Amino acid sequence: MTLWLALLLAILAALSLLIGDATLALPDGLIFWQLRVPRMLLGLLVGGGLGLSGAVLQGALRNPLADPGLLGITGTAGLGAVIAFYWGLGVAFPPALLVGGLLGAGVGSAFLLGFAGRAPSGPSLILAGVAVSAIAAALLALALTMAPNPFALAEITFWLMGGLADRPLWQVALAAPAILLGGAILVSLGRGLDALSLGEETARSLGVPVARTLRLAAVGTAFAAGAGAAVAGSIGFVGLVVPHLLRPWFGERPGALLPAAPLAGAALLLAADMLVRIAPLVLPLSAAPPVGVLTALLGAPFLVAVARRGAP
């Protein structure tokens, strides 16, 4: 099954290289390498990071609604990136954008997993995440209003809804190691997440270092989802939806989802990105909508369905 996913992903990646703004053709060298390839790579990395973080967060928090966006981690990452970018820190030191995003994600992650330690998993955790998300979005809007460049405030849709377009290759190259590092950390947590299915104390009695597992989940998510948000804005719902799409095929054991989650996340995001690029051909739109619009439109009903299924 994982192999089929990998094949699907390869096909989507290839298709993604063929679609430009409102054209379907193989473009010349410059457009291909400077625009299409970075976009496709970014989709792979960001989607993979989001899918994997979602799977790990759901396992670590034992909550089927956990998602790096819903829990505010991509929001705080965006805030960190905005502060670094709009005040020109990235001009002298290009990785500043990424560092800002990682710091922001780290703060959000640490707060959330600290909170999860005190309160049992369940609605209270999601509420805490929603609060973090709301605060991050408000501070983001404030930061953009105060930013020295007059175009800043209008760019809030990018940061809140995400976008893979026109990101230069060097930014993708900057984010890649961070996302891959986060992914490597997250993938190693399978055993711990399986044990956590039975509760934190039972997991400890099985010899799993629970506190360390949760901390690594936080760090891994901060890298994998945070680095992506620093470059591509806050793309929501991918992390929420991916584990649910995979469970019918891979079973509900959290560790079983981990190898497939990044593949599914990447495929989902690439597919969404292609759809938004094709949208202006079919609908009366002047430009392609941000990709986060599509993931939200598909993901939010999903969220409602899952929440209702879980309710007594």
Partner 1 sequence: MRPKRAAVWVACVCVAQFVFGAADAAEHVISLNLCTDQMLVLLAPEKIAALSPLSRDPSLSFVAPQAEQLPVVRASAEAVLRLHPDLIIAAPYGAQTTLALLQQEHVPVLRIALAQDFAGIRQMTRLLASTLGVPQRGETLLIAMDALLEALPHPGHGVRALVWEPRGLTAGPGTLMDAVLHAAGMTNASDGSRIGLEALLRHPPELLVVPTAAAYPSLATSLLDHPALASLPRRAIPPALTICAGPFSAAAAAMLAR
Partner 2 sequence: MIGVSHLSVTLGGRVVLHDVSLEMAPGEMVALCGPNGAGKSTLLRALAGLLPEIGPPEPCRVAWLPQGARSAWGLTVEQVATLGRIPHRDQAVAPVTRALQLCGIEALRCARVDRISGGEARRAMLARTFATEPEVFLLDEPTADLDPAASHEIMRLLRTTADAGRMVVIVLHALDLALRYADRVVVMADGRVTADLPAEQALPAAAAAFGLPFGTDPAARLLPPC
> Smaller CB distance to partner 2: residue 56 or 266?
56
**265 to 294: interface string for partner 1, x by CB under 8 A:** ---------------------xx-------
> What are the φ/ψ torsions at residue 21 (nearest 5 degrees)?
-70, 105
> Smaller CB distance to partner 2: residue 208 or 240?
208
| Among partner 1, partner 2, none, partner that 20 touches (CB below 5 to 8 angstroms by kind) | partner 1
Which part of the chain contacts partner 1 (CB under 8 A), choosing from 115-123, 131-139, 168-176, 300-308? 168-176
Candidate list 11, 26, 88, 173; residue touching partner 1; CB under 8 A: 88
| Among partner 1, partner 2, none, partner that 204 touches (CB below 5 to 8 angstroms by kind) | partner 2
**Range 3-62, binding partner 1 (CB under 8 A):** 20-21, 23, 27, 30-31, 34-35
Residue 249 contacts partner 2 per CB under 8 A = no
CA 266 to CA 184: how far, in whole Å? 16
Residue 207 contacts partner 2 per CB under 8 A = yes
One DSSP character per residue, the chain reads: -HHHHHHHHHHHHHHHHHEETTEES---HHHIIIIIHHHHHHHHHHHHHHHHHHHHHHHHHT-TT--TTTTTHHHHHHHHHHHHHHTTHHHHSTTHHHHHHHHHHHHHHHHHHHHHHHSPSSHHHHHHHHHHHHHHHHHHHHHHHH-SSTTTGGGHHHHHH---TT--HHHHHHHHHHHHHHHHHHHTTHHHHHHHTT-HHHHHHTT--HHHHHHHHHHHHHHHHHHHHHHH----SHHHHHHHHHHHHH-S-HHHHTTHHHHHHHHHHHHHHHHHHHHHHHSS-SSPPPHHHHHHHHHHHHHHHHHHHH--
Give whole-number Cα distances, 286 to 7, 148, 273, 277, in Å: 33, 28, 16, 11
> Smaller CB distance to partner 1: residue 27 or 122?
27
Residues 228 and 186: beta-carbon distance below 8 Å: no
> Smaller CB distance to partner 1: residue 140 or 218?
140
**Range 146-205, binding partner 2 (CB under 8 A):** 191, 194-199, 201-202, 204-205
Which part of the chain contacts partner 1 (CB under 8 A), choosing from 71-79, 85-93, 175-183, 221-229? 85-93
Residue 146 contacts partner 1 per CB under 8 A = no
Residue 124 contacts partner 2 per CB under 8 A = no
Candidate list 31, 117, 134, 252; residue touching partner 2; CB under 8 A: 252
Residue 253 contacts partner 2 per CB under 8 A = yes
- Site residues (vs partner 1, CB under 8 A): 20-21, 23, 27, 30-31, 34-35, 85-88, 90-91, 147-152, 154-155, 158, 165-166, 168-170, 286-287
- Site residues (vs partner 2, CB under 8 A): 62, 121, 191, 194-199, 201-202, 204-208, 251-254
